[in-house]
A and B are shown apart, each in its own frame.
Chain A
Amino acid sequence: MIGRMRTQTTEASKFLVDWMEHRTGIVTIMEHFLYEPVPKRGAWLYTLGSAVLFTITLQFLTGILLLFYYVPTTDHAWNSVSYIMTEAYFGQLIRGIHYWSANFLMAVIGLHMGQVFFSGGYKAPRELNWVVGVILLLLVIGLAFTGYLLRWDQDGFWASVVGMKIGSYSPFVGAYTINFLMGGDVAGPGTLSRFFALHVWLLPAAIAPLIGVHLYLLRRHGVFGSEFEYTERLAKLHERQRLEEYADYELDDDDENGRDGGGSRRE
Chain B
Amino acid sequence: MAELQRDPITRSDFLGFGVLGAIMGAILTIPPVAFVLSPVIKTNILGQSDVDPGWVEVGSVAEVKENEPSVFQIEFPIDQAYGTKHIQEEVPESPRSLERFTIRNAVWVSWKAPIKTQGRQGSGGDELAAAERPAILDQKTEGFTQSEREEIMSKLNVLSNSCAHLGCPVRWFPDQKLFLCPCHGGLYDINGGYVGGPPPRGMYRYTQAEVREDGKLYVKHEYDAGPEHREKGPQEPYVV
Contact = CB atoms under 8 A, between A and B. Distances in A.
A243 to B, nearest CB: 37
B167 A179 contact: no
Interface string A218-229: 000000000000
Interface string A176-209: 1011101111111110010000000000000000
Contacts of A189: 80-83, 101
B44 interface: yes
B167 A161 contact: yes
Interface in B11-56: 37, 39-40, 42-44, 49-51
Interface residues on B, range: 20 to 34
Interface residues on A, range: 20 to 34
B238 A168 contact: yes
A188 B236 contact: no
Contact of A185 (B50, B95, B168): B50
A169 interface: yes
B240 interface: yes
A183 B39 contact: yes
Given A75-B100, A161-B167, A161-B168, A185 B37 contact: no
B167 A165 contact: yes
A75 B99 CA distance: 12
Contacts of A162: 166-168, 183
B158 interface: no
A175 interface: yes
Interface in A153-185: 158, 161-162, 164-166, 168-169, 174-176, 178-180, 182-185
B235 A180 contact: no
Chain A binding surface, main DSSP class: helix
Contact of B40 (A73, A75, A179): A179
Contacts of B50: 184-186, 188, 190
Contacts of B100: 75
B84 to A, nearest CB: 9
B19 to A, nearest CB: 31
Contacts of B96: 75
A161 B37 CA distance: 20
Interface in B36-94: 37, 39-40, 42-44, 49-51, 78, 80-83
B168 A188 contact: no
B88 to A, nearest CB: 12
Contacts of A176: 40, 44
B115 interface: no
B75 to A, nearest CB: 12
B238 A184 contact: no
Nearest to B42: A184
Interface in B217-240: 235-236, 238, 240
Interface in B171-203: 183
A158 B37 CA distance: 24
B166 A161 contact: yes
Contact of A179 (B39, B51, B83, B103): B39
Contacts of A185: 43, 49-51, 238
A209 B99 CA distance: 44
B169 interface: yes
A165 B169 contact: no
A193 B42 CA distance: 17
B103 A188 contact: yes
A164 B238 CA distance: 10
Interface in B126-180: 166-169
20 contacts: A75-B100, A161-B166, A161-B168, A164-B240, A165-B166, A165-B167, A165-B240, A166-B166, A179-B39, A179-B43, A180-B39, A184-B80, A186-B80, A187-B240, A188-B50, A188-B101, A189-B83, A189-B101, A190-B80, A190-B81
Q: Which 10 A-B pairs have the closest CB atoms?
A: A190-B81, A184-B50, A189-B81, A162-B166, A165-B166, A190-B80, A187-B240, A188-B80, A185-B43, A184-B80
Interface of B: 37, 39-40, 42-44, 49-51, 78, 80-83, 95-96, 100-101, 103, 166-169, 183, 235-236, 238, 240
Given A178-B238, A193-B81, 15 more contacts: A158-B183, A161-B166, A162-B168, A164-B240, A176-B44, A179-B39, A180-B37, A182-B39, A182-B240, A184-B42, A185-B50, A185-B238, A188-B50, A188-B81, A189-B80
